């Protein structure tokens, strides 16, 4: 994928103005600098410092509504279960929950977050390849609407757990359709060799077995082939196979009420258009319409990615070698421990100066890096950026999905602060939704055994 990994060499580097023009929630104000949904990002950085995540509630709402509208327009009656893993902040879950989103969760922690944010158990599905007995027990006790089972082994465990608890688990079998979504290898999930789901050939017999197991009620099928998918062909191929399976199961006298169509719709990380929910709805409709199925989708990235940015400040610009041909490094105060996507997937993220003056100065190529002691701590290579003085600020774009949730404290760097933009926040237009982690919190849970406490210093 051109824009998923590095940009292809023959694609022109997007200019700062192109990056802004491609995003309806961004604009550049001559005095106030970069605005997100009308709020100056400089004001957020002034209040909270950097690095700081910013997530926009109006963008979250607009994207949720666009997705729901596309599904409605296609006459699918499909319900959106937001994939909580993309951004699990309670405030984000509340915004999406208030819009009507259910949740797709993959751990007890995510389930508890969704419940804390007010999402009803009947609106929650539980996915994942390795749910523990404790997690299954908790999910059953909460009475969630569906557990997506990923293996014969898990089905047996769930049957035992449900029977012991005197409950019946509503189960969808997650089928691996053996379709290559053409995305980055680390986030491709629907090929036969990936760890996810039940082999297509085994699904029908396992469904029949599920119907006979105590504590299990099979209600349908689930499929999810990967993430950051921009072509509809793999979706169509996967849904066609699922539709065939539905017919096979029904022909065998089994009841199939629902299909969970998964997530994975991609976004435009540079200046290209992202995935279109109407096209996804069309791909679902092509195979799964008119089968009398209750349909659902599990988008994560598409809903939240473009709603967030990571604000960072320039620590210094470092030049190596002669000024004409040497290297130029823009060293930021944000690093791979904050946003790991470039290091982990060679992902492209747009980088835009917050100052309108900086944004129009002549740009030259620079590597944009963080302070962590690894060469992989690189946000961009050969990126066209104007000269940036120490203290100049930038926004790293499309950081709302798989950003803060994947942060670590590597190099003893505290987790960054976070703000939410929302007109309801009052005149400033934003509210702090996570304090910057304190350094003391980094070691607060660590225990130094008594026998190590004497003898030093």
Residues catalogued as catalytic: 373
**Which stretch of DSSP H or E encloses residue 308?**
strand 308-320
| Residue 314 vs 335, nearer CB to ligand LLP | 335
Determine the residue with CB nearest ligand LLP: 300
Q: Which of 177, 197, 262, 353 binds ligand LLP (CB under 6 A)?
A: 262
Locus of tokens 């550049």: 28
Strand intervals (E) in 116-246: 124-126, 146-149, 169-176, 198-199, 216-222
Stretch that binds ligand LLP, among 130-138, 299-307, 352-360, 449-457 (CB under 6 A): 299-307
Q: Which of 42, 127, 258, 407 binds ligand LLP (CB under 6 A)?
A: 127
Locate 239 and state its tokens.
Answer: 């849904």
Q: Which of 63, 301, 393, 434 binds ligand LLP (CB under 6 A)?
A: 301
Query: Per CB under 6 A, does 300 bind ligand LLP?
Result: yes
Query: Per CB under 6 A, does 420 bind ligand LLP?
Result: no
Distance CA 91, CA 101 (A): 13
Query: Per CB under 6 A, does 183 bind ligand LLP?
Result: no
Question: What is each CA distance from 149 to 115, 174, 213, 226, 382, in whole angstroms?
Answer: 21, 6, 14, 17, 44
Distance CA 348, CA 4 (A): 6
Query: Per CB under 6 A, does 402 bind ligand LLP?
Result: yes
Query: Per CB under 6 A, does 341 bind ligand LLP?
Result: yes
Taking the alpha carbons of 47, 52, 57, 63 in that order, is the dihedral positive or negative?
Answer: positive
Query: Per CB under 6 A, does 349 bind ligand LLP?
Result: no
Query: Per CB under 6 A, does 227 bind ligand LLP?
Result: yes
Q: Which of 298, 338, 367, 422 binds ligand LLP (CB under 6 A)?
A: 298
Q: What are residue 364's DSSP bridge partners? A: 385
What x/- string results for residues 64 through 103 when contact with ligand LLP is judged by CB under 6 A? -------------------x-xx-----------------
User: Within 289-360, where are the H helices?
Assistant: 301-304, 341-345, 356-360
| Residues near ligand LLP (CB under 6 A), total | 22
Q: What is the CA radius of gyration of the chain?
A: 24
Inter-residue contact 358 to 313 (CB < 8 Å): no
Q: Which of 28, 60, 70, 187 binds ligand LLP (CB under 6 A)?
A: 187
Site residues (vs ligand LLP, CB under 6 A): 83, 85-86, 104, 127, 187, 224, 227-228, 262-265, 298-302, 341, 345, 401-402
């Amino acid at each position: 994928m051109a824009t998923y990994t590095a940009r292809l060499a023959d694609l022109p580097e997007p200019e700062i103005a192109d990056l802004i023009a491609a995003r309806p929630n961004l604009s550049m104000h001559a005095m106030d600098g970069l605005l997100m949904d009308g709020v100056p990002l400089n004001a957020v950085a002034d209040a909270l410092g950097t690095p700081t995540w910013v997530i926009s509630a109006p963008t979250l709402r607009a994207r949720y509504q666009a997705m729901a509208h596309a599904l409605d327009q296609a006459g699918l009656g499909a319900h959106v279960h937001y994939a909580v893993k993309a951004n699990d902040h309670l405030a984000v879950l509340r915004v999406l929950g208030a819009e009507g989103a259910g949740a797709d969760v993959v751990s007890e922690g995510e389930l508890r977050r969704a419940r804390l944010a007010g999402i009803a158990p009947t609106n929650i599905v539980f996915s994942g390849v390795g749910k523990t007995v404790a997690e299954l027990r908790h999910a059953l006790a909460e009475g969630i609407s569906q557990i997506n089972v990923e293996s014969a082994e898990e089905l047996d465990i769930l049957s035992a757990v449900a029977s012991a608890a005197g409950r019946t688990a509503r189960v969808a079998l997650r089928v691996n359709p053996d379709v290559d979504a053409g995305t980055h290898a680390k986030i491709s999930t629907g090929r036969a060799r990936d760890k996810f789901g039940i082999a297509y050939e085994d699904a029908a017999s396992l469904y029949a077995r599920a119907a006979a197991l105590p504590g299990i009620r099979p209600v349908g099928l689930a499929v999810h082939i990967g993430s950051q998918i921009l072509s509809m062909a793999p979706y169509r191929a996967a849904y066609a196979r699922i539709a065939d399976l539905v017919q096979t199961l029904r022909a065998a006298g089994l009841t199939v009420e629902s299909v969970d169509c998964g997530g994975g719709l991609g976004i435009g990380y540079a200046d290209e258009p992202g995935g279109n929910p109407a096209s996804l709805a069309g791909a679902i409709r092509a195979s799964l319409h008119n089968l009398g199925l209750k349909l659902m989708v599990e988008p994560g990235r598409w809903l939240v990615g473009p709603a967030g940015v990571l604000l960072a400040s320039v620590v210094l610009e470092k030049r190596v070698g002669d000024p004409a041909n040497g290297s130029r490094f823009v060293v930021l105060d944000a690093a791979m421990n904050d946003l790991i996507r470039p290091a982990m997937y060679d992902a492209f993220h747009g980088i835009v100066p917050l100052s309108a003056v900086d944004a129009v100065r002549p740009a030259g190529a620079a590597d944009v890096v963080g302070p962590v002691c690894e060469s992989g701590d690189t946000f961009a290579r050969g990126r066209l950026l104007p000269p940036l003085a120490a203290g100049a600020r930038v926004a790293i774009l499309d950081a709302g999905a798989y950003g803060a949730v994947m942060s670590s404290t590597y190099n003893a760097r505290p987790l960054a602060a976070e703000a939410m933009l929302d007109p309801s926040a009052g005149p400033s237009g934003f509210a702090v939704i996570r304090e910057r982690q304190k350094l003391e919190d980094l070691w607060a849970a660590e225990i130094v055994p008594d026998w190590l406490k004497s003898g030093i210093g």
